Structure 1
Amino acid sequence: MQTSARGRAAAAAVALLLCSGQSAGQPAATAGGGAAGGEAGGQLGDKLESMRRQLEEQKQLLLQLRRQVDEQQRSLLQLGGAMPAEALAAQRGTGPAEQGGAAAPAQGQGQGPAQARAGQAPVGAAPAKDGRPPEVAPLFEQPGVLTAKGHYVLEPSLQFGYSSSNRVALVGYTIIPALLIGLVDVREVKRNTTTATLTGRYGLSRRMEIEAKLPYVYRSDATVSREYFTGAANERVFDTSGRAAGDAELALRYQLNEGGADRAYYVGALRFKSRTGRDPFSVVTDCTKRCTGPDATGTGLPLELPTGSGFYALQPSLTWLYPSDPAIFFGSVSYLHNFRRSNVERRIQGGQSEPLGTVAPGGVLGFNFGMGMALNDKAAFSLGYDHSSIARTRQNGVAVPGSVRIQLGTLLLGFSYRFNDKRTVNVAVGAGLTRDTPDVQLSVRMPMSF
């Protein structure tokens, strides 16, 4: 603005000089004409005096404009000294974009000094950051983003799982591979599990949160089979169900580092699982005398399904998140230790019990990984894989017959939509990749921040 004003003033001064030169160079043809020439000379002198006054005014204007330009240059130098080039480079790309909005242009890139002074953050001061990892559409049980200090989150959720399995048992012996002497037992089991959970999280500090989870479980199983050692041609259907509170959980999470752009965030967690749900050893099993051994009678299936595992468990885990614009990579590794139980008895029909001794479920080694990406400032999706390896169960220090290590693999796809700053809905779909994994899992969560 100052440069263009200086140019206009200079142009006006040059024009006046040219006009004065042309007027002074005119031939005084009438100067010797007596009184008329004297009158013309007086008018020319007046014009020259007027032009000199105009030139003096233009000169004063140019000096004033030069002083203003010098003041603006000194102001720019002061602003440049208040924010070095390194700080200015760090400032670019930060600001409202970290809260989900568009980044404001930095000074020198489409924004003048007055606009920079009128912004929310003063020049040279970086906006405040909470140091928490970026949010992604959740796929797994453990969240990656911690609750802010002094705030709490209530998260109602509903999860549905369906699985089916087929088992073929050959009871007899074969003479040749194509000829069987004996019976064939075929069983098909279909399981439906619905879990409603209320989860509460509270931010103890900027890096630590505590979580409590209260589930309610409804289960239904349908088993289609043929009875052992009979020649019945009809299939038998055994239906059973159960509904009650599940195992309550308590967890503590701590963010180990600050993290940042192109730097991973690490969150350690410790989860404790109780056995508040209906115990598997407290439900009545379809056996009249014994469920194992040569004199076993009945199907050995529970008449009412349990809603808990029946064992206390402790699970340490480590979660990592790595922002890499425009995606976020995440994963975790964990180990679930089930505490053994002594003097365990199984209830059977007729009010009797079958002693089982000491039972120790196998530990569960798990890991998962995935990638999240934001579609816009409200919607995001995630893709991941979860794997669990369950060790053999031991009874009285010996592996239970028929118990083997189980591998569970699940492919997960999640979607998240943020209604506002306090309400979000998360939907996740899982597909089982191994025979022991549930065929499909569907979960809906709605965290509400306060």
Structure 2
Amino acid sequence: MMFRTIPFAVAVALTATPVLAQETTQPAAPATADAARDALAKKEGEGDQSALLKQTLTAVDKQYSLIRRGQMSLTYDLSYSYVGEDRIVTDIANGNATLFNIENNNSHTVTNTFSADYGVLNNLTANLTLPLISRYADTAARSGMSNSLGDIGVGARWQPFEAHRDTPNLTLISSVRLPTGRSPFKIIAGSGEATGSGVGALTMGLNVNKIVDPVALFGSLNYTVSAPAKDLWQINGSRILTRVQPGGSFGFGMGFAYALSYGISTTVSFQEAISAGSKLRFADGLEAKTHMQTSGILNLGLGYRISPKTTINFSVGIGVTPDSPNMVVGMNLPLSF
């Protein structure tokens, strides 16, 4: 159950402070209906809750919003994620286990992402994302840090139907991920950490949102296919990895944003991605397949409007499945003031 705080005004009669003897004390003017309405009304520049909710949706996922034709917007995102796990490392040769070790792996990742959006049409927005990644990993065998460009993303958002206040807004999305980061399939042991996926990928999906002041409901569906990583020569135990075909990934999300006031909003959302196993091929002809992975994250967010055009958003994500990051902390700041 959610409770909404309603501002109220109370008129208090004040007794005039005594002044010099030659001055005449003036009685306080009685409160009027117009004065009460002015006290209850929102102040200039506060905007409305619908605008705040739209900005909050943009912070949750930019793919829920469009911009007008010819306009451009810039956004900065800062996120930190932590992954801690115990991994069993095995190597099987000739049917016998030749290596069995339990490793404690800890990974800390800081991602600085700069996004640019451009309105191609009033209902079509193109976007470009540029991530800069710093990753520190600590395992039983080694520890190291890498600073590098991540995977650049290029995408578009299209709204096929005109948006109306009383109907849900539908947005179709598409994006291409370019393998510009350090590939995990080409990292030599001890040379640093991967900052990219190593393969290109195409994502298609749709987002739906509806504002029911002071609440905005939203949901999404998407599917991602990845290109194979070919011509590899990575030592993996006693074998050499030569090819990887990542499996497809299906994702969905849902949540709501709630305007507590004209300057504060909160969000609660859940995101899950289900990825099919990847096919591996080794130089000696052996082929193997990894298990399916499921990643689910519960996100809690807070938006604070510092000006009529600028809202800073903070979020905390908690992993709820074994394949998820343990924790994700983020901040979203528009750079177009």
On whether the aligned pair clears a TM of 0.5, the verdict is yes
Residue equivalent to 1:200: 116
Q: Any idea what the Cα deviations from partners look like across 1:200-253, whole Å, max 9, x if unmatched? A: 1111221111111111111111113xxxxxxxxxxxx52122111111111111
Contact 1:189 1:223 in 2 (8 A): yes
TM-score, structure 2 as length reference: 0.76
1:102 & 1:435 partners in 2: Cα distance? 37
Could you say if the C-alpha distance between residues 195 and 421 of structure 1 is closer, same or farther in structure 2, counting changes exceeding 3 Å? same
What does residue range 276-291 of structure 1 map to in structure 2 within 5 Å?
Answer: 276-285=180-189
The answer as to 2:268 corresponding to 1:383 is yes
Which residue of 168, 173, 187 maps to 2:103?
A: 187
1:163 correspondence with 2:110? no
Q: Structure 2 matches for 1:336-375, cutoff 5 A?
A: 336-346=224-234, 356-375=241-260
Question: Hey, what does 2:5 align to over in structure 1?
Answer: none
Looking at secondary structure, tell me which structure has more strand per residue.
Answer: 2
CA contact (8 A) 1:328 1:373 kept: yes
Query: C-alpha distance in 1, partners of 2:144/2:121?
Result: 46
- Mean Cα deviation higher: 361-370 or 337-346: 337-346
Q: 1:328 aligns with which of 216, 227, 233?
A: 216
Give 1:440's aligned residue.
327
State the shift of 1:416 in Å: 1.3
Task: For 1:186 and 1:306, locate their aligned partners in 2 and report how far apart those are by CA, in whole Å.
Answer: 21
Residue 183 of structure 2 aligns with an amino acid whose one-letter code is D
1:256 aligns with 2:160: yes
Q: Percent identity?
A: 25
Larger Rg: 1
Question: How far, CA to CA, are the matches of 1:243 and 1:413 in structure 2?
Answer: 28
Letter in 1 for 2:172: G
Match of 2:175 in 1: 271
- 2:196 corresponds in structure 1 to 308
Q: Provide Cα deviations, 1:264-301, integer angstroms capped at 9, x if missing partner.
A: 0000111010011112233212xxxxxxxxxxxxxxxx
Residues matched between the structures, number: 285
1:72-117 alpha-carbon deviations (Å, 9 max, x no partner): xxxxxxxxxxxxxxxxxxxxxxxx99x93499xxxxxxxxxxxxxx
Q: CA 1:189 to 1:442, structure 2 compared with 1: closer, same or farther past 3 Å?
A: same
Name 1:63's counterpart in structure 2: none
CA apart distance, 1:341: 2.8
What is the letter of the counterpart of residue 391 of structure 1? Answer: A
Deviations 1:33-56, CA, capped at 9 Å, x for gaps: xxxxxxxxxxxxxxxxxxxxxxxx
Amino acid at match of 1:448: L
Cα drift, residue 138 of structure 1: 4.8
Shift of 1:357: 3.3
Greater relative contact order structure (CA < 8 Å, 6+ sep): 2
Residue in 1 that maps onto 2:4: none
| Aligned-partner residue type, residue 155 of structure 1 | T
Q: Provide the aligned C-alpha RMSD in A.
A: 3.2
Q: Do 1:393 and 1:400's aligned partners in 2 also have CA atoms closer than 8 Å? A: no
1:210 aligns with 2:126: yes
- Cα 1:367–1:188 change in 2 (3 A) is same
Q: Quick one: which of 238, 252, 264 aligns to 2:142?
A: 238
Does structure 2 retain, via aligned residues, the 8 Å contact 1:139–1:428?
no
Unaligned segments of structure 2, at least 5 residues = 1-42, 92-97
Structure 1: which amino acid aligns with 2:207? T
The partner residue of 1:427 within 310, 314, 317 is: 314
Q: Give the letter for the 1:153 counterpart.
A: S
- TM, length-normalised to structure 1: 0.58
Deviation at 1:170, TM superposition (A): 9.5
Aligned match of 1:412: 299
Change in CA separation of 1:101 and 1:346 when aligned onto 2, cut-off 3 Å: closer
Letter in 2 for 1:403: T
Once the 2 structures are TM-superposed, how far is the Cα of residue 379 of structure 1 from its aligned partner? 1.8
Whole-angstrom CA distance in 2 between matches of 1:400 and 1:438: 28
How much does 1:156 deviate? Answer: 1.3
**2:107, 2:136 within 8 Å by CA — same for their partners in 1?**
yes
Say if 2:47 is the partner of 1:100: yes
Q: What displacement does 1:394 show? A: 0.7
Higher mean C-alpha displacement, 189-198 vs 391-400: 391-400
SS at match of 2:103: strand
Alpha-carbon distance between aligned partners in 1 of 2:278 and 2:286, rounded to the nearest angstrom:
6
Asked if the contact 1:149–1:205 (Cα under 8 Å) also holds between the matched residues in 2, the reply is: yes
Matched, 1:147 2:67: yes
Aligned counterparts of 2:88 and 2:188: Cα–Cα separation in 1:
26
How far apart are the structure 2 equivalents of 1:141 and 1:371?
Answer: 12
> How far is 1:152 from its partner?
1.2
